[in-house]
Amino acid sequence: MASPVDDLLPAPVADTLPGLVPGLDADGRPRPDAPLVAVTGVTGYVGGRLVPELLAAGYRVRAIARHPDRLRGRDWYGDVEVVAADAAQPDQIRAALDGTQVAYYLIHSLGSGRRFESTDRHTALVFGQAAREAGVGRIVYLGGLYPEGEDLSPHLESRTEVGEILLASGVPTTVLRAAVILGSGSASFEMMRYLTERLPAMTVPKWVENRIQPIAIRDVLRYLVGSASMASDVSRGFDIGGPDVLTYRDMMQRYADAADLKRRIIVGVPVLTPKLSSLWVSLVTPVPGGLARPLVESLVHEVVCDEHDIADHVPDPPDGLIGFDRAVALALRRVQDAAVSTRWSSAAVPGAPSDPLPSDPDWAGGSLFVDERRVTVDASPAALWRVLEAVGGDRGWYSWGLAWRIRGLADRLVGGPGLRRGRRDPLQLLVDDAVDFWRVEDIEEGSLIRLRAEMRVPGLAWLELRVEPTDRPDTAPTVFAQRALFHPKGLLGQLYWWSVYPFHGVVFGGMQRNIARAAERAERARTDRRVSAAGGS
């Protein structure tokens, strides 16, 4: 018998938008004369999922990113035009939008610090002017649902202001206003999921009694795709939400039911401020404090749709919008099947270093401390590579687990991601994947993984894991080379390096030895299986 969520898994949202999308040619590809749409925020949670939906709908897609190399490895990378541009730089974004009919604005500075409102304001003004000058026919923006007549949280106030700026740009604009988005990997969903799973009993702030109208990520994507074809005389905002209106308490209890957990004991208290609540969320869930705080502050408001006018332009699907229980069931299915295509951590941690590793080993830009270790491994390069590509997340870091956990907790307390972000996929890595408090900066398949640190440190840090075949494969088939690099920032950075250096032998040395042993065990197990299979044939 089919699962109640099976019908949601394979079909693109365009299948429920007949007449609103261009459709594909006979070869299943967008036609050469199909509208060209630009998508910003493609390294983020929503943007990374929107691109394949637009392709399936028959649009040609131009993916705009500041660092296009981070898109390598995406399933759709070879099917789109990739352009390097910073949306805050007028000349760059104007050129990137040239020739496009629709531009998706999926950029925000959520949790990026005290100046995030001015950053969002500046970027929206630049983008709107560039879109007008480039002759773009429509801007589509995904903002936040907010109550009228209330003092909004800084996050919601900024999202609202961005929508107003784009509407005033002179380009017909669709502003979609959503509350909590339910989907595997979304920050809101992960926050609710971990709070419910990890705390059978909890004290909670009074905002858990506020009403919320959540919406499934699939319905958000459907509205985004459908908005591209709106008539040119439509320029306004639309509330979008699913069919259920629930309190956050209801959402946690219904999540517990969907996950086969016992009913949670939830006791409301009036003393938990948004700041304390976000710290509590940061300690219990993978969502770091810098991201948790604006999410929590938004939940202080009741966010329920005042209208459903979007249905006049993007009709509801034949089976209706996806309800809360169905959305959670689908999200859990994707989590269990390790089929989460994008996560909230797809976007870099606000404030984390993004400078690439200096290519010159004798870098003239300042001090570059290096801890380099090499060991021969009695295993094939393929066996060692499989272990390296699965490092982090549930498998951990192969050395002194307590030290890693303490370092992760310390990072959480100062607003960093800590170790709880885990991995998008347990076995495969892509460039720009988050791996605990690292991010994949570069991959050379079968030979190199370079991780850039996103934990809070006074400088820039990288960890390289390299597989090197030897000249004597009969006696020592593989070399495992490991490099930790650190570019200190000021005196504090220098002190930091020398304070942690004595522990490198235990942490990085132990990590290297244990990874080597894991590869050798895997190689022996594979050999034993081959021998056993040959003996039984």
Please give the average per-residue pLDDT across 171-184, as a whole number.
92
Residue 3 lies in a domain: no
Residues in a beta bridge with 451: 440, 463
Residue after which a domain boundary falls, among 324, 339, 354: 339
Number of domains in the chain: 2
pLDDT tens by residue, 112-169: 455 778 888 999 999 999 999 999 999 999 998 888 877 777 778 888 999 999 999 9
If residue 57 lies in a helix (H) or strand (E), which one and from where to where?
helix 45-57
Q: In this structure, are 141 and 180 located in the same domain?
A: yes
pLDDT higher than threshold 90 for residue 295 = no
Residue 354 lies in a domain: no
Q: In this structure, are 268 and 381 located in the same domain?
A: no
Asked if 294 and 139 touch (Cβ cutoff 8 Å), the reply is no
Asked whether the CA dihedral 309, 314, 316, 322 is positive or negative, the reply is: negative
Residues contacting residue 140 through CB under 8 Å, at least 6 positions apart: 102, 103, 104, 105, 173, 174, 176, 224, 227, 228
CA distance 400 to 413: 21
pLDDT higher than threshold 50 for residue 418 = yes
CA distance 188 to 291: 10
The total number of residues shown for the chain amounts to 537
Residue 194 lies in a domain: yes
Q: In this structure, are 335 and 373 located in the same domain?
A: no
Q: Given this model, what pLDDT does residue 232 score?
A: 94
pLDDT higher than threshold 50 for residue 365 = no
pLDDT tens by residue, 455-510: 888 888 889 999 987 766 566 689 999 999 888 887 888 888 888 888 888 889 99
CA distance 469 to 478: 5
How would residue 394 be classed by pLDDT, with cut points 50, 70 and 90? Answer: confident
Q: Which of 210-219, 244-253, 273-282, 524-533 has the lowest mean pLDDT?
A: 273-282
104 or 263, higher pLDDT: 104
On the 0-12 / 13-18 / 19+ scale of CB atoms within 10 A, 147 is middle
Q: In this structure, are 376 and 326 located in the same domain?
A: no
> What percent of the chain has pLDDT above 70?
87
Q: Given this model, what pLDDT does residue 402 score?
A: 84
> What CATH number should be reported for the domain holding residue 392?
3.30.530.20
Q: How crowded is the C-beta side of 419, counted as CA atoms within 13 Å?
A: 17
Q: In this structure, are 448 and 299 located in the same domain?
A: no
Please give the average per-residue pLDDT across 246-262, as a whole number.
89
Q: In this structure, are 68 and 136 located in the same domain?
A: yes
Give the closest residue to 285 by CA, choosing from 172, 192, 396, 351: 192
Asked whether the CA dihedral 220, 225, 230, 235 is positive or negative, the reply is: positive
Asked if 50 and 39 touch (Cβ cutoff 8 Å), the reply is yes
How would residue 362 be classed by pLDDT, with cut points 50, 70 and 90? Answer: very low
Q: Which of 43-52, 152-161, 210-219, 500-509 has the lowest mean pLDDT?
A: 152-161
Q: Given this model, what pLDDT does residue 276 score?
A: 72
Residues contacting residue 255 through CB under 8 Å, at least 6 positions apart: 192, 193, 196, 261, 328
Please give the average per-residue pLDDT across 232-259, as a whole number.
92
Q: In this structure, are 505 and 389 located in the same domain?
A: yes
What beta strand segments (E) does 71-183 contain? 81-84, 102-105, 138-144, 173-178, 181-182
Give a three-class secondary structure readout of 213-254.
CCEEHHHHHHHHHHHCCCCCCCCEEEECCCCCCEEHHHHHHH
Mean pLDDT taken over the chain: 84
Q: In this structure, are 296 and 414 located in the same domain?
A: no
Segment of 100-104, 107-111, 196-200, 424-428 carrying the highest mean pLDDT: 100-104
Residue 118 lies in a domain: yes
CA distance 443 to 71: 12
Asked if 61 and 54 touch (Cβ cutoff 8 Å), the reply is yes
Q: In this structure, are 315 and 373 located in the same domain?
A: no
Q: In this structure, are 442 and 329 located in the same domain?
A: no
Cα angle: 336, vertex 339, 343; to 5 degrees: 100
Return the structure tokens found at 449.
Answer: 């993984």
**Whole-structure pTM value:** 0.74
Q: Which of 5-9, 253-257, 270-274, 486-490 has the lowest mean pLDDT?
A: 5-9
Q: How many helices (H) and strands (E) does the chain have?
A: 15, 19
Task: Tell me the angle at which helices 289-299 and 274-284 cross, rounded to the nearest 10 degrees.
Answer: 130
Q: In this structure, are 135 and 274 located in the same domain?
A: yes
Give the closest residue to 105 by CA, choosing from 176, 185, 17, 21: 176
Residue ranges making up the domain that contains 377: 369-535
